[in-house]
Amino acid sequence: MSTAETIVLDKLETYSGIWSTIQDKLKTEFGEATYKSWLSKLIYINYDNFTLTIKAPTKFMKEWVLTHYANKIINFWKELDGSILNIEITTTANNNQHIAPLIEQTTEVSPERKAESSEATFLDENMLANLDERFTFDNFVVGGPNELAYAAAKSVAESTNVKMESNPLFLYGGVGLGKTHLMHAIAWQIITNKSNRRVIYLSAEKFMYLFVNALRKKEIMTFKKFFRSVDVLMIDDVQFICGKDSTQEEFFHTFNTLIDNNCQVVVSADRSPTDLDGMEERIKSRLGWGLVVDVHSTTYELRLGILESKLEQMNMVIPKSVIEFLAAKITSNVRELEGALNKVIAHSRLIKKEINLENTYEILKDLLRSVEKVISIEDIQKKTAEHFNIKISDLISSRRLRSLARPRQVAMYLSKNFTSKSLAEIGKKFGGKDHTTVMHAIKNVEALCLKDFEVAEDVKILSRKIDN
């Protein structure tokens, strides 16, 4: 080996030694759990030109480390070698660093290290899912429809002890109402609190993919060990595994293990546990053991608050009439509401034209046409079931209990009033009833509304909810 190569190797060993010392310092400074989650997978690449280059396994981890730990790493390095000026983090191997691989190849890897590496595959790729930095509790606008969901999520995120009455926490509601925002916020809160709780957030679809992949690669024990060793497991859109028996089986056992070990589970879906058709009864029952919270559709006031909050974040001011127009017209979900606001602002900037009510309508005319409120029979069934505190499956069944027959007739009556569907089409949506059954229900409710104050009040309240 030449003198030049010897010098390079000596330097490399020196800098590698510094990095090893820094890793020990990071573990002491931030604790075992944080170190394992965020810092243990950083790999030393090079120190050159007063710049330390290290590799992170994912882009998300790279950004997180740069934001939260880079200054600490630089300060630790300065204590051992004061020449450092900068730190760079890459997510791809540096092909120009040909000496580091040479040393790696001569290092014997123990069976224990191989096992850790196998588990790290799950950790690097999946534990650190792409949490959106905008989705925090501070950026969540609270109103009547989501007040309980917000309070429950905040309690789970801030509590140092798992409360049995809210484990699992089950959030459900329609698309774009804030379920995913709250789940991201829980994860961010736990991470930033440095509580040493190990958190996983991923979609049910991703959970299924990892499970199937683990089966295919014969890594199922690694999969089980990984998912059952966390402190907080958050699964988004759990309805995705309805009808997928093997994945449900594994989810059930993972769920039970974590609950039994007093670990927090948070789950979201587009409907309540009891209405998850295709989900095993034992899982539906377990999901309902904790706190089940409905994230309701937004009200006009809440939509107004969301728009005002968004404009404040963007440091923008637009006419109040435009904000009120958007809040009144875009009622489907928050995602679409914010999208409409972004479109108006972007269009205004591009064509250098002020924002007013007239050009807002022109910019959004296609969107407004598509979101004109279309009330479906399913919407009516959902609101009726909620109002009478019964299951949708019972509402559309053939059971003739009085507690079910009256709500069913009211729902049929409202379906005729609020939709353009024929009697036969309505009957089909109620378990295959024929048109004469629907006609009888409508006439019966009409008659009851004239003489029974309670029925009339139920119809009035439900009509207001449906038309909102």
Amino acid letter, 304: L
What is this structure's pTM?
Answer: 0.56
Q: Average pLDDT of 169-191? A: 87
> Beta strands 264-269 and 232-236: pairing type?
parallel
Cα angle value 183/328/389 (rounded, 5°): 55
What are the beta bridge partners of residue 291? 169
Tracing tokens 């039970």 back to the chain, one arrives at 256
Kindly list the distances between the CA atom of residue 373 and the CA atoms of 16, 178, 385, 436, in Å, as whole numbers in the listed order.
Answer: 63, 20, 21, 29
At residue 2, the pLDDT reads 40
Amino acid letter, 56: A
Please tell me the total number of residues recorded for the chain in this structure: 468
pLDDT tens column, 196-223: 778 888 888 888 888 888 888 888 888 8
Which domains does the chain possess? 3-107 (3.30.300.180), 144-294 (3.40.50.300), 300-370 (1.10.8.60), 377-467 (1.10.1750.10)
CB-side neighbour CA atoms (13 Å) of 203: 10
Tracing tokens 């404009």 back to the chain, one arrives at 311
Q: Which two tokens stand for residue 401?
A: 């209990």
Question: How would DSSP label each residue in 416-451?
Answer: HHHS---HHHHHHHTTS--HHHHHHHHHHHHHHHHH
* Among 370, 450, 371, 459, residue whose Cα is nearest residue 418: 459
At residue 195, the pLDDT reads 64
pLDDT at 96 over 70: no
Task: Report the 10 Å Cβ neighbour count for 436.
Answer: 11
At residue 109, the pLDDT reads 40
Q: Report the alpha-carbon distance of residue 91 to residue 86 in Å, rounded.
A: 17
At residue 194, the pLDDT reads 63
DSSP conformation class of 316 = -
pLDDT at 267 over 90: yes
pLDDT tens column, 37-88: 678 888 888 887 788 888 887 776 787 788 778 888 988 888 888 788 888 8
- What's the burial of 211, exposed, middle or buried (CB within 10 Å: 0-12/13-18/19+)? buried
